[in-house]
Amino acid sequence: MKNRIDEVFKNEKKILSIYFSAGHPNLDDTVSVLKNLQKSGVDMIEIGLPFSDPLADGPTIQKSSSKALKNGMTTEKLFKQLEGVREEIDVPLIIMGYFNPMMQYGIDNFCKRCKLIGIDGLIIPDLPVNVYHENYMALFNKYGLYNMFLITPQTSVERIRYIDKISNGFIYMVSNTSITGMKNTFDETQIKYFKRIKSMNLNTPTIIGFGISNTETYNSSVKYSNGAIIGSAFIKFLEEKGVEKTNEFVKSIR
C-alpha cells in the first residue's frame, strides 16, 4: 500500500503541516481538531503524543502537553480516540512524540496500533538515527511506518547525507538551534542555512519547522524547502479562539 506522505509530495504544491498536542485544549478534542484541519485544507497533520519531559519543545507546546496529561491523555487513550479516523480523514497523519512512552507501550505494539489506525509515520526527536537504523528500521518497515528525522544548522554534512540515505517521507529541518516557538521573521543566518540545505540537492523532501507563525515565515520557508510545519502558533490560536475557528488560522497563513 502506498504511503500517504509520498502521495502528498507528488505534485509541486508547497506543503502546510500543522502540529497540535493530542488531548488539548480538551481531552476529547483530538478528532475534532483533525476534522477541522482537513476541512481547512492543510496537507498533513502531526499529532503530538504528550510527554512529561519534552526536551525539544518550547513553552507553548510544553504547556499544551502538560494540560493534555492533566486532562487524562495517555498513549492508549490516543489510540482509542483515533480508531476509525480513516473513515473521515484522508490527509497523512504523523504521531510526533518521545521514545520513552513508545518503549513503555512496547515498540512492536505501538507500531502495530499505528498501522491498524492508519498512521503514516512517526517523528521521534530523541531516537538517534543510527539506533533507529540498526535496531528499529526493519520493524517500522514491517508496519509500513515512515520515521522522519530532524536536522539542525549544526548537523554535519556527513550526518545529513546519512539521514538522507536511509530516510523516507521527508526530512524535518529545524530552523534554529533552540526549542520550538514562534518568530515573526527569519534572520540572515537561518536563511543561509536554508540555502545551504537546498543546495545539497537531497533525495528526500525537506520541511522546515520551529519558529513558523505567519505568512511571512511560511513563505520564507517554502522558498527553500517543500513545505513548513506550524505548531506553537496554532496551539495558541486553539486556546484563544477554539477548534471551530481553525479555518481562520489556516487562511491567515496561506
Q: Catalytic amino acids? A: 46, 57
Half-sphere exposure for 1 (CA within 13 Å, toward CB): 13
Q: Which residue has the cell 527569519?
A: 186
DSSP 29: G
Q: Which of 207, 202, 240 is nearest to 224 (CA)?
A: 207
Q: Which of 41, 68, 16 is nearest to 231 (CA)?
A: 16
| DSSP letter string, 63-104 | HHHHHHHHHT--HHHHHHHHTTGGGT--S-EEEE--HHHHHH
Could you tell me if 76 and 103 are in contact, meaning their C-beta atoms sit under 8 angstroms apart?
Answer: no
Q: Which three cell numbers stand for residue 2?
A: 502506498
Half-sphere exposure for 111 (CA within 13 Å, toward CB): 17
3-state secondary structure of 180: coil
